[in-house]
Amino acid sequence: MKSFTTQIFSHFGYEEIPAWANMLFASINVIIILILAALARSIITRLLRSAHARLVTRAPGLEERKRIDTLYRIFGYIVSVVIGVITVMLVLSELGISIAPLLATAGVAGIAISFGAQSLVKDYFVGFVMLLENQIRQGDYIEAAGKSGTVEEITLRYVRLRDGEGTVHFIPNSAITTVSNHSREFAYAVVEVGVGYSTNLGLAYDVIRHVGQQLRQNPEFKDKVLDDIEIQGVNQLTDSSVNLRLRIKTDAASKWSVRRQLLAMLKQSFDANGIEIPLPQQVVYYHQAENHA
């Protein structure tokens, strides 16, 4: 190609290709590289979007769809980075900047930087492992690094949570040692309720079971409650009450709303059946000293 170009310019009396022509050809090549890079990114993005839509349609449930959404975002990010790096290298090559010294310098600099950026490298490594093992997905409610909330974004460097008060927490992946995920398949709404010592426990159990049946028949909650209420029995004898522990199986996203509704219905049913929910009590004995006068 270059010899052909040289022959063309030799017809016009140029022994060598002029500098302005080299710059023109380099500029054209750079424009072609950028166009091809944008085209490649567009095609790959469309393929990813198509695959994402197809997989979401075939996904058996909400949990699998959440995982697909998370992986779709991560793969899109990786594709953008890879195409960007390759494009920059090709453009530098066309501009006459040798890539080999840059790569060698980058290797040496990378070793030096790695000692000062170990936590950043660890962020990416831990983030990759979490995604590979499917520990966290977008939309999950989790506890990690002392914070809890709904996962709004997952990257290879951090996890973004929004808690119940709306506060957003950015947690570096390297700071996550243990993840407590409250959004996997199912959960239990656990309740501990106190009754008075004079309460007939058989009656209390019957009322609790009836409340559980009512909750399952409630149109708003019948799809959220997955099983009958489970009475685990007396959990503690306190100074003023007999504490009963019970739980009910729910879908993972509805644990807190089911728990709140269950507590409200228990309060109403206990009141209707004369079952006392006692307040803390204290018995005081007065001792009158004898008068020996």
DSSP assignments along 112-160, one per residue: HHHHH-HHHHHHHHHHHHHHHTT---TT-EEEETTEEEEEEEE-SSEEE
Which tens digits make up the pLDDT trace of 68-106? 777 777 788 788 888 888 888 888 877 777 666 666 666
Average pLDDT score over the chain: 82
Alpha carbon separation from 72 to 40, 43, 131, 224 (Å, rounded): 17, 15, 11, 28
Q: Which CATH class is domain 186-272?
A: alpha beta
In this structure, which long-range contacts are made by residues 72-75, counting pairs with CB atoms below 8 Å and at least 24 apart in sequence? Answer: 72/48, 73/138, 73/154, 74/131, 74/154, 74/155, 74/156, 75/48
Report which secondary-structure segment, H or E, holds 100: helix 99-116
Which tens digits make up the pLDDT trace of 112-154? 555 555 677 788 788 888 877 778 888 888 999 899 999 988 8
Q: What is the pTM of this model?
A: 0.58
Domain range list for the chain:
2-114, 129-181, 186-272
Which pLDDT score is estimated for 149?
Answer: 92
Which tens digits make up the pLDDT trace of 234-259? 999 988 899 999 999 998 888 899 99
For residues 122 and 156, is the Cβ–Cβ distance under 8 A?
Answer: no
Which CATH code of 1.10.3470, 1.20.1530, 1.10.287, 3.30.1490 fits the domain covering 2-114?
1.10.287
The percentage of residues in the chain with a pLDDT greater than 70, rounded to a whole number, is 80
Q: Which CATH class is domain 129-181?
A: mainly beta
What's the CA gap between 129 and 156, in Å, rounded? 9
Which pLDDT score is estimated for 226?
Answer: 92
- Higher pLDDT, residue 3 or 162: 162
